[in-house]
Structure formats: C-alpha cells, structure tokens
A and B are shown apart, each in its own frame.
Chain A
C-alpha cells in the first residue's frame, strides 16, 4: 500500500469538502494493498500466520520392502520397487522465484552380483568397471513438454579395489582376478539443492526420480530400501 498523504491546514484556512475527504478516500482505496511500507518492523508473530507449516513443505517417497531391484543398465534407469512402482517423488507445484527445493535420498544396496571389477582388455581407465552410480533427476514443464534435469550424480564401488589402470592380477590359471573385497549391504546417501530462478508460477515441478546405473553390464547392482525426501522452502 502506498503512503497516504494529508493536506496541511493552517489556522484561518477553509478546507473544502473534497480536501477533507481526500485522505479517507485514499486510505479506502489503498488499504486493500497493505504491505511492508505500512507495517512496523518485527511486528509479526508466528500466531499471526494462518498455517506456519506451509513456510516449508515436505514431500516424501519411501520404499521399505525387502524385494530388491536388479540394475544392469549402463545408462541411468529409474529404480523400480516391485513393478510398476518406481522410486519417484510426486511434486506437482509451481514454485515462486528463487524458491529452494532441498532433496535428500538414501537407501540400501543388497547382495550385489559382481562378475568383474576390472577390465583387462580395454584401454585405461580399466578399473572403472568397479563403479556404479546414482542420479536424482527432476522433471518439470514450462507449459510445454516435460524436461528432465540432473540434480546430481554420486558414485560407489562394488569392491574395495581402486579404479584406475591394471588393478587386477593374474591368477595361477593365467586369468585376471579381482583384487578387492566385495562390499554388500552398504547404505547410499546424498543430497542437493534445486533453486528455481525463473518467474513465479511459470514452471511446474512434476516429480523427482532416483536413478541408478552400473559401469559394466555383467555386474548386478541390487537396491532394496530407498527413499527420497524433499523440503520445499517457500518463505
């Protein structure tokens, strides 16, 4: 609401009706738009807010079942917890400008089936077959088709062996052997922020998916429990 001005009357002035009414009319018009120009500093208490909980909104996806999803794809696929239930967190809201979405995800890697953690034939970096990775993908639309953006990628290894070149050894039978100790029943966890820079209400955030891939299709990554938590910071 804009500042309302008053007419200054001195002794002897004869105010007209219009002059006397003007400040009241201005207030009547402007009071529909009271804003921080009209209010004192530090005046509001939490009791004045209709629903304090909406300053931050929480969204969650939890799969706590025992059945694992086997991942053998070398490109990212969405984790599927007993088909057709994907690891996806539904959002479906339009953020205001510079709103922040804080995303955290964690889960449990089960008894992986690790065939090979080295690559004795390909060119370096040979040891990369030992790796698998996760990605959090955000799906949104700006009024048109759905677009996907990566919120981050994070990696792990199947064994204690390092990546890099020549991290295998030759066994007595003349064949290369794995060097590392398998790592099973290990948790994974990561978090990231998404900041929306565009105009308020112009973008619809649809969902977040938890995706995974392996770097060698002969290895099977087994993912059981997993969850995605997102906190929408609004004000």
Chain B
C-alpha cells in the first residue's frame, strides 16, 4: 500500500465536521489493519525471527513413515521404510524385502518397489505432495544387495564341486519425478551397497510424485543347482526419499 496522506486537512478556525475526522483516520487505520508493505518499512529491518514458524502438514505412520513440513520459503518432505518400522526385520543386517529373481515376479525394466513387495509393504512408499513453483532438491537413499552366487558343477569325473557365478549381474536405480526419470546410477555389480541418488529439477505449482525404481540383470542356470537351491536373492534393507521444495 502506498503511503497515506491526509485526505481532508483541518485548518485553524475552520468548522470541523465529524465526518472529516472519521475519513482521515480510517485511511491510516486501514493501512495498519493489513495494508503495511514495503513502502512502510525500510530494507534490512526484518529478521528471520519475524517469519512464521514451519508447519507440520501431517504425515503417515506404519510400515512406511512420511513427514511433511512446510516453511515460509521452502517445504521438506520425506518417506522411508527401515527395519525399525518393519515387523519382520530385526536389525541392520536383516532385509525388509527379499525378492528371488529366479522365482518371483519382476520386470526387465525398472521395477517399482511396490510391485516387488507382494505383501504390500511398499505400497505407500512414493513421496507425494503439492509442490509450489520452484525447485525440487532431494535424494533417494536405498540400502540394497544383489550378490553373486555359488553353485555345484560336475568336474568331469562325477564330482560335484562348487563354483562362483553371477559376477556379471548388475543392478541399477533411477529416481522418477511424476514418472519422468531424473537421476540414474548406472550399473552396480554384485555387492551390498547403500546408494544415494541426488536429484534437482524445476517444478511448477502442482502435485508431485517422486519414486525410486530398480532394474537388475540376473540369470538362472538350470541343471546346476545353487548351493541353496536357487539364485541369490535381491534384498532391500531400507529405502528413503527426501525432498526440499524451494519456492522463495
């Protein structure tokens, strides 16, 4: 609001109408009552303490934890599943999801975690929130394992001896924002690994869904059983996505 000047000046010895008093004061009060702006306040006079505190928008509990916090200049959103919320896993060495590539359903392309978990434990995993125009800056952090394998092979003299296989298996993770791939790891060969995938994309004021998906290469050798009957499982020990929506 612009600065306010006296509308009806009062002069010495002039008859004053009460309406003039009301009109003059109303304009100034209106300014105080919601119209104060940068014309009224010099620069460098507002401290961060003048800005409102962040607000908890509510989240989700259960197998997948979600938190949504909205600040005046940014928003923070997260979703995660770890052994601490999981009813089956007991510690950091215990996976929350085990997939047997030789028996369970999986696709050759990138797999949603919810598709791999038949128990529904990852159904609520993707991060969903209403973004404001600005940037989405975040990370997906997945603690996973796809190791190599040991199987029995005939040494030609009727003796079954163990040999390693699967050193050429690989896994790859990709982050999707509204089903568009925005960050990808490249192939990672057998190991247990905590992979962090940073991403930064521009966004409008729109609903946003952020997901991490997994693709892997694995094969199953028939006629030469693995020592425990099948190929090495793919495991997830924890998965987390956090995102900062910067809009001011």
Q: Which of B156-172 contact A (CB under 8 A)?
A: 161-164, 167
Whether B211 is near chain A, meaning CB under 8 Å from some CB there, is: no
Whether A189 is near chain B, meaning CB under 8 Å from some CB there, is: yes
User: Taking A50-B45, A164-B233 as contacts, is the C-beta distance between A43 and B37 under 8 angstroms?
Assistant: yes
Q: Which residues of B contact A (CB under 8 A)?
A: 1, 17-19, 21-22, 25-26, 29, 32-38, 41, 43-48, 51-56, 67, 69, 71-74, 76, 78, 82-84, 92-93, 139, 141, 143, 145-150, 161-164, 167, 189-194, 196, 227-228, 232-233, 235, 237-238, 240, 242, 244
Can you add 19 more A-B contacts, CB < 8 Å, to A13-B18, A102-B244, A180-B164?
A: A10-B18, A39-B37, A40-B1, A40-B35, A45-B38, A49-B47, A98-B55, A98-B69, A102-B76, A131-B92, A134-B194, A154-B194, A160-B147, A162-B146, A162-B190, A169-B150, A192-B141, A192-B242, A235-B54
Q: List 29 A-B contacts (CB under 8 A).
A: A5-B29, A15-B18, A31-B32, A34-B36, A36-B52, A43-B37, A45-B38, A48-B38, A50-B44, A51-B47, A98-B53, A98-B55, A133-B92, A135-B92, A152-B238, A154-B194, A157-B193, A160-B189, A161-B147, A163-B147, A163-B192, A164-B147, A168-B150, A170-B162, A180-B148, A181-B167, A191-B242, A193-B67, A195-B56
Q: Which residues of A contact B (CB under 8 A)?
A: 1, 3-15, 20, 23, 27, 30-31, 34, 36-40, 43-45, 47-51, 54-56, 96-100, 102, 104, 106, 125, 127-128, 130-131, 133-135, 150, 152-157, 159-170, 179-181, 183, 188-193, 195, 197, 200, 215, 233-235
